Amino acid sequence: MPSHTRAPKLMSVDFRRLVTQPDLNSHGTLHGGILMKWSDECAGMHARKSTGFLCVTRYIDKINFVSTARIGTILRITSVIESIGNSSLTFRITVRNDLTNNVIATIDRLVFVCVDGTHKPINHGLKLDDD
Ligand SMILES: CC(C)(COP(=O)(O)OP(=O)(O)OC[C@H]1O[C@@H](n2cnc3c(N)ncnc32)[C@H](O)[C@@H]1OP(=O)(O)O)[C@@H](O)C(=O)NCCC(=O)NCCS
């Protein structure tokens, strides 16, 4: 356990992506796999910004594709820290149309683990204020 623990600076981070031609499926709407990749990347960047460590995806639970996104849609991908462990951080993702605020997808839990140079979990030293 590190001698100093600190609260994360940013509990919530917004990222934006523009839907373009290569992101579409054969029906002409946003491909679900692309949306999952972007969501994973956003939570991963949030984990990296919060801890300063290399963080890898350990577990993803419950993705809900609520509505479609089309070419030209600006997506707002909001990553929120839900809980904090010793080496892990758990995020919730909500993807919205940035102009209309309509929800496009949610992912209930993405668990990231901080790893050292030998790819072993390490304590990130973060904790929530009320823990
Ligand atoms: C990440 C990795 C090094 C962790 O190793 P591990 O043996 O699972 O480590 P541990 O059992 O000590 O668990 C590490 C943390 O993950 C959490 N965890 C493990 N399995 C979990 C699960 N199924 N759901 C939620 N959390 C889980 C543990 O609770 C622990 O959290 P804590 O330290 O905050 O208490 C290893 O699983 C790995 O390399 N996985 C592949 C990662 C990857 O390639 N991702 C895709 C590309 S980024």
* Domain positions in the chain: 12-114
Residue with tokens 């309509």: 102
What is residue 111's DSSP assignment?
E
108: left (phi over 0), alpha (psi -120 to 50) or beta: alpha
What does the pLDDT read at residue 99? 98
- Cα 113 to averaged position of ligand 1 atoms, centre (Å): 6
- With H, G, I as helix, E, B as strand and everything else as coil, classify residue 85: coil
Residue with tokens 């909001």: 78
Task: Write the residue with the smallest CA distance to atom 34 of ligand 1.
Answer: 85
Q: Is the minimum distance from the CB of 57 to ligand 1 under 6 angstroms?
A: yes
Q: Is the minimum distance from the CB of 4 to ligand 1 under 6 angstroms?
A: no
Task: Write the residue with the smallest CA distance to atom 46 of ligand 1.
Answer: 57
Q: Evaluate if residue 3 carries a pLDDT over 80.
A: no
In the CATH scheme, what is the homologous superfamily, with its name and number, of domain 12-114? Answer: Hotdog Thioesterase (3.10.129.10)
Q: Is the minimum distance from the CB of 86 to ligand 1 under 6 angstroms?
A: yes
Mean pLDDT of 102-131: 95
Q: What is the Cα–Cα distance from 91 to 84, expressed in whole angstroms? A: 9
The whole model's pTM is what?
0.95
- What percent of the chain is modeled with pLDDT above 90? 92
Q: What is the Cα–Cα distance from 92 to 105, expressed in whole angstroms? A: 11
- Cα 48 to averaged position of ligand 1 atoms, centre (Å): 16
Mean pLDDT of 40-49: 98
